[in-house]
């Protein structure tokens, strides 16, 4: 999570960063260095210079330390003060170059290209492998896109999603936790610690295969932090991915995860007040919408497999809305077996992610009559829990 003094970062700043990064990469014997979205950002007139700098910066680090490098490159279009940025992810891995083009919230998107429908894989980075760990990539808001994870399903063990700085912590935490559990992968995201752009404090996110927050070590002070504790503390953070965790957990059902493997979240997600949203209740074993607001809501029923699998919930919602027409959405998953309280934490991690991914309310109905839900609220679609 590097500090940036301004948007007009000069080459000298990168030269200074090289020395610090080289020192830490060698000291801690890092395998993979992840830098934020638009770590290198220049106007379109300097496009070639931006790419030359990205290559030179990465190759020097790789040659001096052996580290593989992941960094964001942003190309600005438009006049000063009204720039729009096309975002890319540049990866130097085992001396080979790979490029990812952002799909959402970018001036020019991968989907704008005429061959995207027939050849969309070329705009992604296919899984790369280091010491048996398979690695997948995207950028920032692309973690909301279900088809990326449907494509990566059972193909990656570590998912890397660098972002900028202007993010809401609870949204990013909810999405990265949910993606980790959904795909049984480690997830990691780093932001700029940006002093001038009006963005957030900057965080480093890391979650294990169950969505538990990992312990991150700050190279600056040798102290340990959980993701939420990294806010405002710039520096290089590192953690270790355990292949043993990936192996035992991949085929395990949520109901069967041992309680001792489920850790407390480092951030307390807010609860939905009774005055917010639509009341949901159970009548004769059926989940119904319980107030006058219900007429404007599209109720969609799903089974547990559709809820759990990457992309299936989104596909079903799109299909249902194409038939019934658009409106606010509430998705009901019924008939679930009763569950231990500890394991309910895992379902909440998935609920938050699904609600944000689809901008819809998701409700789980258990056979013992217990209901839990998550719903995105406010103009920024931040997640809230309900029970």
Domain boundaries, the chain: 3-261, 280-386
How much is the average pLDDT of 93-97? 96
For the stretch 191-248, pLDDT in tens is 886 654 455 678 999 999 999 999 999 998 889 999 999 988 888 999 999 888 787 8
% of the chain exceeding 90 in pLDDT: 60
Q: What is the pTM of this model?
A: 0.90
Q: How far apart are CA 184 and CA 230, in angstroms?
A: 24
Give the tens place of pLDDT for each residue, 271-324.
876 656 666 665 655 666 665 555 577 888 999 999 999 999 999 998 888 777
Fold for domain 3-261? Nitrilase/N-carbamoyl-D-aminoacid amidohydrolase (3.60.110)
Region of 290 on the Ramachandran plot (φ > 0 left; ψ -120 to 50 alpha; else beta)? alpha
The candidate with the shortest Cα–Cα distance to 345, out of 240, 263, 287, is 263
Determine the pLDDT at residue 110: 94
DSSP tag of 301: E
Share of the chain residues as helix, strand and coil, in percent rounded to the nearest 5:
35, 30, 35
Least confident stretch, 5-14, 189-198, 325-334: 5-14
Beta bridge pairs of residue 90: 71, 99
Average pLDDT over residues 95-122: 94
Q: What is the pLDDT of residues 353-380, one digit of tens each?
A: 999 999 988 999 888 878 888 888 765 6
The answer to whether 294 touches 281, Cβ cutoff 8 Å, is no
HSE at residue 252, side-chain half, CA atoms within 13 A, is 20
Report how far residue 304's alpha carbon sits from residue 290's, in angstroms, rounded to the nearest whole number.
23
Q: Is the dihedral of CA 299, 302, 307, 312 positive or negative?
A: negative
The confidence score (pLDDT) of residue 243 equals 82
Sign of the alpha-carbon torsion through 372, 377, 381, 384: negative
């Amino acid at each position: 999570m590097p500090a940036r003094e301004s948007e007009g970062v000069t080459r000298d700043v990168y030269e200074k960063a090289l020395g610090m990064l080289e020192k830490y990469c060698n000291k801690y014997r890092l395998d993979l260095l992840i830098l934020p979205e638009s770590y290198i950002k220049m106007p379109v007139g300097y496009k070639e210079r931006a790419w030359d700098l990205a290559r030179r910066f990465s190759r020097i680090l790789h040659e001096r330390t052996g580290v593989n490098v992941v960094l964001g490159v942003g190309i600005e279009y438009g006049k000063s003060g009204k720039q729009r940025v096309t975002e890319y992810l540049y990866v130097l891995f085992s001396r080979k170059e790979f490029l990812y083009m952002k799909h959402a919230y970018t001036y020019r998107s991968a989907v704008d290209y005429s061959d995207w429908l027939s050849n969309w894989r070329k705009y992604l980075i296919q899984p790369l492998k280091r010491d048996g760990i398979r690695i997948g990539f995207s950028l920032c808001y692309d973690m909301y896109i279900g088809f990326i994870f449907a494509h990566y399903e059972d193909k990656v063990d570590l998912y890397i999603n660098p972002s900028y700085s202007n993010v809401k912590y609870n949204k990013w935490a909810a999405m990265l936790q949910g993606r980790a559990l959904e795909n049984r992968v480690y997830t990691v995201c780093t932001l700029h610690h940006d002093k001038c752009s009006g963005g957030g404090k900057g965080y480093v996110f890391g979650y294990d295969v169950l969505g538990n927050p990992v312990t991150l070590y700050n190279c600056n002070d040798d102290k340990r932090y959980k993701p939420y504790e990294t806010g405002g503390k710039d520096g290089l953070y590192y953690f270790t991915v355990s292949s043993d965790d990936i192996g035992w957990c991949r085929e395990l059902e949520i109901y069967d995860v041992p309680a001792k493997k489920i850790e407390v979240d480092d951030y307390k997600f807010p609860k939905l007040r009774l005055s917010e949203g639509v009341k949901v209740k159970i009548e004769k074993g059926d989940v119904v919408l319980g107030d006058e607001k219900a007429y404007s809501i599209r109720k969609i029923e799903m089974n547990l497999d559709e809820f759990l699998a990457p992309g299936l919930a989104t596909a079903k919602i799109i299909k249902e809305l194409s038939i019934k027409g658009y409106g606010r959405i509430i998705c009901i998953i019924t008939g679930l077996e009763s569950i231990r309280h500890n394991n309910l934490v895992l379902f909440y991690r998935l609920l938050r992610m699904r609600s944000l991914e689809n901008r819809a309310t998701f409700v789980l109905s258990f056979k013992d009559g217990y209901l839990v839900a998550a719903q995105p609220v406010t103009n920024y679609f931040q997640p809230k829990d309900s029970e």
